[in-house]
Chain A
Amino acid sequence: MSAIIKTEHLCYSYHTEENKKVQAVNDVSIEIEEGQFVAILGHNGSGKSTFAKLLNMILTPESGKIFIDGKELTSPDITEDDIYDIRRQIGMVFQNPDNQIVATIVEEDVAFGPENLGIPSDEIRKRVDNALETVGMKKYARHAPHKLSGGQKQRVAIAGIIAMMPRCIIFDESTAMLDPLGRREVMDTIERLNRKDGKTVLHITHYMGEATRADRVIVMRHGSVYMDGTPKEIFTRVDELWEAGLEVPQTTEFMHGLNELGLSLPLDIFETEPCAEKSAEAILKWISDHK
């Protein structure tokens, strides 16, 4: 497998009105393989959104290099057309579905991206139908977006990106504003896009439960990569996560607490039932040992 996204010593800073410099992304060098499901975690202001916006050239890096599929975005001879091609390949879904939907009819909105790309009408029609099918919103094709639920709106926004046929989709806290049901709908959609359609997924989130479903977890802190590994590797390093102002999955927190009382439980079980079984077993054993 080859790296679809690669960054080398990427830096970016914002300049505020008072002429202050905020270093939002600081020396980030990572490689993301095609087809990977990567969760990006980090405290508020740790630079996650800025990093994401650098990858599809919404922001231009201050220094460092970005390669998409081996092509250097930061090279001086990159043209405007190249940038639009990158934006097509690296789709992005944001937090508030209301502020991403452009049209007054669901299918017209999904068509917006392909229309911008200048694709012929009948091809757009096919893509729109497929995209709506993929997110399970075919029934609502002719509906007005403002009458849908949050989760449904967000799935429409995802369909709008899928219709551009990207290879990678970045979700910037796309589940943050949704209720538990909407969050599950969207998470299931994201997971299906990755597992079934082979899309590379970068999922920025504050929900640890969602991050445990990824192949890889990257933790950012003060604009840099603080931790990088599989969910099991990352979430067992409870103290370091707390240090970065993050939570750990509830199961891990529970078992970590029991361990501090003298048990020795594994921290890398993220499903509730196995966690409960393992804990109960260990507690019973502890009781019989201390009789």
Chain B
Amino acid sequence: MALDISIGQYFEGSSVIHKADPRVKLISVILYITVIFLAKNMFSFALLILSAIALIIISRIPIKIITKGMKPLILILVFTAILNIFWLQGDTLVFEFGIIHIYLEGIMTAIFMIIRITILLIGTSVILTYTTTPIALTDGLEQLLEPLKKTKLPVHEFSMMMTIALRFIPTLIEETDKIMNAQKARGADIGSGGIMQRAKALIPILIPLFISAFRRADELSTAMECRCYRGGEGRTRMSKLKLRAGDVVFAGTFIVLGALIIIINIYAPGFNLAY
């Protein structure tokens, strides 16, 4: 299997966004999501669309990859649009047929909803999933949540588990592949038959896989003990994440964007169209 799950959707690159500190990116995404839901009128939506386009350009991620990532969302978008158009009531009736009443407000809300969801997806994928390796993300999350360690929340353990899972996914995929080939060579029929038959065919693959995974876990824990592992306490890190000026500017941009949108909402209320 050429599949490389370990790096997820990460798209190799060296843009400003790729290089930004993962902690800053996590915070920026939260800021951006807030900003997206603050936007209420035409001007602020125009600003949001511009910001999303800017993000894509800065990240240098091919538009093809982004549109491909959007595909699974189309159904949700269509459903949201229909729901808003047919159910929302307003003052300006546009169309009437039997029990169906369509109002201008409904149509506008549907449009803004679609824009919001699309920008939300572009924002999170461009700032996080496409430009951050899972390991950087885990690291960022651990260091961001460090204050929570005092509350006895298992922050370190959680991130260690994530790291080990990411480390072993490719190994286990490789192993599944080997076992499957071995069973096929013995005449096992894997890819055909009804659901029950296929489920049954999985048993001779899953059992050896589980046995081997447990053995691996056992050996790994011994190896970790030999390397003096004893939980997060007293542990240091080689690559302490360091904030650079660029990171502050990066997060600052989202704060400015939020401020602008609030100002537009206040000073141009006549154009408020979404709710």
Task: Out of B135, B226, B236, B240, name the residue touching A108 (CB < 8 Å).
Answer: B135
A164 part of interface (Cβ distance < 8 Å): yes
Q: Do the beta carbons of A102 and B219 come within 8 Å of each other? A: no
Q: Do the beta carbons of B227 and A58 come within 8 Å of each other? A: no
**Interface hit among A4-12, A86-94, A249-257:** A86-94
Contact with B along A59-78 (1 / 0, CB 8 A): 00000000000000000000
Contact with A along B107-143 (1 / 0, CB 8 A): 0000000000000000000000000001100000000
Task: Out of A56, A102, A145, name the residue touching B224 (CB < 8 Å).
Answer: A102
**Interface hit among B62-70, B161-169, B182-190, B203-211:** B161-169
A92 to B167, CA, bound (A): 21
Q: Do the beta carbons of B227 and A104 come within 8 Å of each other? A: no
Report whether over half of chain B's contact residues are helix, strand or loop; otherwise say mixed. Answer: helix
A-B contact count (CB 8 A): 101
B263 partner residues in chain A, CB cutoff 8 A: none
The residues in B between 197 and 238 inclusive whose CB is less than 8 angstroms from any CB of A are 215-216, 219-220, 222-230, 234-238
Task: Out of A58, A96, A101, A124, name the residue touching B236 (CB < 8 Å).
Answer: A124
Interface size classification for chain A: 35 or more
Q: Do the beta carbons of A116 and B170 come within 8 Å of each other? A: no
Q: If A117-B228, A164-B227 touch, does A99 touch B238 (CB 8 Å cutoff)?
A: no
Report whether over half of chain A's contact residues are helix, strand or loop; otherwise say mixed. Answer: helix
A56 partner residues in chain B, CB cutoff 8 A: 226
Q: Do the beta carbons of B167 and A115 come within 8 Å of each other? A: no
A145 to B220, CA, bound (A): 15
Q: Do the beta carbons of A100 and B238 come within 8 Å of each other? A: no
Which of B7, B219, B228: most chain A CB closer than 10 A?
B228
Q: Do the beta carbons of B230 and A84 come within 8 Å of each other? A: yes
A130 to B219, CA, bound (A): 27
Residues of A that sit less than 8 Å from B by CB? 53, 56, 58, 84, 87-88, 91-92, 94, 96, 98-105, 107-108, 111-121, 124-125, 128, 144-146, 160-161, 164
Given contacts A94-B223, A100-B220, A121-B237, 8 further A-B contacts (CB under 8 A): A58-B225, A87-B227, A99-B215, A99-B220, A103-B135, A115-B237, A119-B236, A146-B170
- Please give me the 5 A-B residue pairs with the lowest Cβ-Cβ distance, nearest first: A111-B238, A99-B219, A100-B223, A113-B227, A124-B238
Residues of B that sit less than 8 Å from A by CB? 6-7, 134-135, 163-164, 166-167, 170-171, 174, 215-216, 219-220, 222-230, 234-240
